[in-house]
Structure 1
Amino acid sequence: MADQSPRRITDVDTLRALAHPLRLRILDAVGLHGPLTATEVAERVGESPANCSWHLRQLAKYGFVSEAGGGTGRQRPWRLVTDGHRWGDGEESPALARAGDAAFLTLLDLEYRKLRDWMTVRRQQPPAWRDAAFLHQFISWYTPEELHELQEELRGVLGRHLDRLGDPATRPPGSRPVRLMAWSAPEVDGPTDADADGNGDR
């Protein structure tokens, strides 16, 4: 099993490097089909090899991909760095907060598109995959401490097969890439349990 301790990003330039739609598509291609050369990435994302090569070097500079060994120039293969990443917790400078928000929104745009892609074709998929896929929605009451605990539990569950991205030998027969995403969004204009802190109406 891969190490489940993600890298915490606190650098503005690193987050800005991630907040780029093409770079996320490149990361997707390398993660799902890699190692890939810039030329192979270009074929998958519909961009020029020169452009993909430049973006791969930028992604490598900030620790999102690394050279897989062999080849030179645009023919050297790249692999995804699968240690996971996190940002946006704790105190942030305004610049870091803006960069983090931009990265989140770019990532969400990609994931929404991939979810819509699945919803469009799911009726044509094999029944086993159609039935195994899921979308759950819940609303409940949590304290910040409970929500943080849930976050850590979900990270452990969703990331337990992260090693399969980088090592094809660990992938069981019949498996295929599956996108997993979870979020919590506290209501900003809903009711609060004011009685819990002694400020409720008497």
Structure 2
Amino acid sequence: MDARSLRGVAHPLRMRILELLRLDGPDTATGLGRRLGENTGTVSWHLRHLAEHGFIEEETGRGTKRERWWRAVRVAHRLDTTEFRDDPDTRGALALYVHEIVQQHFNRVVSYLAEDWAPEWRDAGTLSQWHDLRLTPQQLAALNEELEQVVARHRAAAHSGSGEGTPEGTSESAPEGTREGIPEEQPIVVQLQAFPRKERDER
């Protein structure tokens, strides 16, 4: 993600719109406005900005001239924050973007805890933290890369039957089984936070 794209997406409502399109699939400005409690005209304005910067696109062959359907672009966006930390023109956009991403992750955890899941799903999920590691920067980078590869391997296996992988941030419907009315598959969100912390005498 370059500086222009970062500035184009770094807006709380814009990022929320993009999150909904990525998680739940295509929608209209009217539908998004209803879900977000926002004016349709305001949502349409932000949708045009997201499209201009390549984060979403119109779903052709669907809707009308007055009611356009939008979908998230099926591509992974990677942000290297080191490119922008010392740039005064993008530092504010970077701070807002990272804050909103962390808030989205937090909100998903809160929603998961508040939802009523069958015991099989509740037992399968986890919120984990390990705090007794001491690593060098190189070891921390290797840890994160290895964990990312594990997720990528499971994602590829889950979509091997469809003939293609699913890029980060997209949503596809999964087949449901009938065992006691519990779906055999559900869309899964993987959240992993691995970062250094300041020790007491460093703060």
CA shift at 1:147, angstroms? 1.7
Structure 1, residues 80-115: CA drift from partner, whole Å, max 9, x if none?
123222223444323333322220101111221221
- Hey, what does 1:66 align to over in structure 2? 57
- Hey, what does 2:142 align to over in structure 1? 149
User: Within 2, Cα distance between the matches of 1:156 and 1:82?
Assistant: 20
- Hey, what does 1:176 align to over in structure 2? 186
Q: Does 1:188 align with 2:175?
A: no
RMSD: 2.6
Q: 1:129 aligns with which of 121, 134, 147?
A: 121
- Hey, what does 2:45 align to over in structure 1? 54
Highest RCO, 1 vs 2 (Cα 8 Å, sep ≥ 6): 1
CA shift at 1:190, angstroms? 5.4
User: Within 2, Cα distance between the matches of 1:57 and 1:78?
Assistant: 10
- Hey, what does 1:78 align to over in structure 2? 70
User: Within 1, Cα distance between the matches of 2:103 and 2:60?
Assistant: 32
Aligned to 1:114, what secondary structure does the other structure show? helix
- Hey, what does 1:26 align to over in structure 2? 17
Segments of 5+ residues of structure 1 without an aligned counterpart are: 1-8, 193-202
Relative distance call for 1:19 and 1:157 in structure 2 (3 A) is farther
Q: Name the % identity.
A: 34
The structure 1 segments of at least 4 consecutive aligned residues displaced by more than 4 Å after TM superposition are 164-167
| Stretch moving more, 94-103 or 132-141 | 94-103
Structure 1, residues 171-196: CA drift from partner, whole Å, max 9, x if none?
3433333322222221233589xxxx
Q: Does 1:117 align with 2:120?
A: no
The residue type paired with residue 63 of structure 1 is G
Segments of 5+ residues of structure 2 without an aligned counterpart are: 157-164, 177-182
User: Within 1, Cα distance between the matches of 2:197 and 2:56?
Assistant: 36
User: Within 1, Cα distance between the matches of 2:57 and 2:103?
Assistant: 25
The residue type paired with residue 77 of structure 1 is W
Structure 1, residues 129-157: CA drift from partner, whole Å, max 9, x if none?
11121111012122222222222223333
Counting matched residue pairs gives 180
User: Within 1, Cα distance between the matches of 2:81 and 2:49?
Assistant: 24
Instruction: Judge conservation of contact 1:37–1:74 (CA < 8 Å) in 2.
Output: no
CA shift at 1:59, angstroms? 1.0
CA shift at 1:166, angstroms? 4.4
